[in-house]
């Protein structure tokens, strides 16, 4: 029987790549997104063309009630949740002293509390199904810290701590919890960088290029697979060696 994966931030970037990778691997897809209906309609068309069973799931992961409703909908339409990929996130680039409290809260509420909300809503289904795999998306800045990205770095570091704690808490229930920490990935979060900045980032990456959504999605698919059945509590950097 095909397993179901719930992926947040699925309409673009890393999330979209993950959706397509998992669909091609035979998973049923719950494609989570917040606002971009046009992008999601396009993704649903792509999924239909490859014969995937998929449903769009719209809502704000920072809203716990909305997330609970999304999880209930996924379980009722696709039968349950086997794999959770907590991918959706936002960034904010500024000096901390120039960052307003509401800007700080937006990043923390989405990038860290949103992960809690998704896991909390998914656990009953995973327990009922005898196990599961949770893959959280952190960042290399959650490990090393990024100048002018204090809130993002703090949230992503929190995701790593949450991953490690839950791997111990949920292991006896057959639920594995791992984390990917992407480096510089060429998504629309890169729009603030000009060509000089991009080249500097490439020069800071030993493999000599920016990452792609497919690079990260491949790591996620591995962590969800039976090949990783004895792997939990780990942080897999997908960054080409960045920062160098």
Does residue 152 lie within any of the structural domains? yes
Residue 215: give its domain's CATH number: 3.40.50.720
d(Cα 162, Cα 233) in Å, to the nearest integer? Answer: 9
Name the band, by pLDDT with cuts 50, 70 and 90, for residue 191.
confident
Question: Domain containing 107: what range?
Answer: 4-236
pLDDT digits (tens, 9 = 90+) for 17-54: 999 999 999 999 999 999 999 999 999 999 999 999 99
Strands annotated E in 147-213 = 175-182
Looking up tokens 């669909």, which residue turns up?
23
Does residue 242 lie within any of the structural domains? no
pTM of the model: 0.96
Strands annotated E in the chain = 4-7, 28-33, 54-58, 83-86, 132-137, 175-182, 235-238
d(Cα 78, Cα 29) in Å, to the nearest integer? Answer: 8
Does residue 213 lie within any of the structural domains? yes
Does residue 243 lie within any of the structural domains? no
Q: Tell which residue, 242, 143, 128, 237, has the closest CA to residue 175.
A: 128
Neighbour order of strands in the sheet with 175-182: 54-58, 28-33, 4-7, 83-86, 132-137, 175-182, 235-238
Q: Residues with catalytic annotation?
A: 152
pLDDT digits (tens, 9 = 90+) for 144-181: 999 999 999 999 999 999 999 999 999 999 999 999 99
d(Cα 182, Cα 190) in Å, to the nearest integer? Answer: 13
Question: Is residue 140 within 8 Å of 181, Cβ to Cβ?
Answer: yes
Does residue 204 lie within any of the structural domains? yes
Structural domain count of the chain: 1
């Amino acid at each position: 029987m095909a397993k179901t994966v719930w992926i947040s931030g699925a309409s673009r970037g890393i999330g979209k790549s993950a959706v397509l990778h998992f669909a091609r691997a035979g998973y049923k897809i719950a494609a989570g997104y917040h606002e971009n209906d046009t992008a999601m309609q396009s993704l649903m068309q792509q999924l239909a063309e490859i014969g995937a069973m998929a449903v769009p799931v719209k809502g704000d992961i920072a809203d716990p009630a909305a997330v609970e409703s999304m999880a209930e909908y996924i379980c009722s339409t696709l039968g349950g949740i086997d794999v959770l990929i907590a991918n959706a996130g936002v960034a904010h680039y500024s000096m901390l002293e120039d960052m307003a409290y509401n800007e700080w809260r937006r990043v923390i509420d989405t990038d860290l509390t949103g992960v809690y909300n998704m896991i909390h809503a998914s656990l009953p289904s995973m327990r009922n199904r005898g196990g599961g795999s949770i893959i959280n998306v952190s960042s290399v800045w959650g490990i090393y810290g990024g100048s002018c990205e204090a809130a993002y770095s703090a949230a992503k570091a929190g995701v790593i701590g949450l991953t490690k704690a839950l791997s111990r808490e949920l292991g006896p229930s057959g639920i594995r919890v791992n984390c990917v920490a992407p480096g510089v990935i060429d998504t629309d979060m890169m729009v603030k960088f000009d060509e000089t900045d991009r080249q500097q980032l490439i020069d800071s990456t030993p493999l000599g290029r920016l990452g792609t959504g497919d690079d990260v999605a491949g790591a996620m698919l591995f962590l969800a697979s039976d090949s990783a059945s004895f792997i939990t509590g780990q942080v897999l950097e997908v960054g080409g060696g960045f920062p160098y």
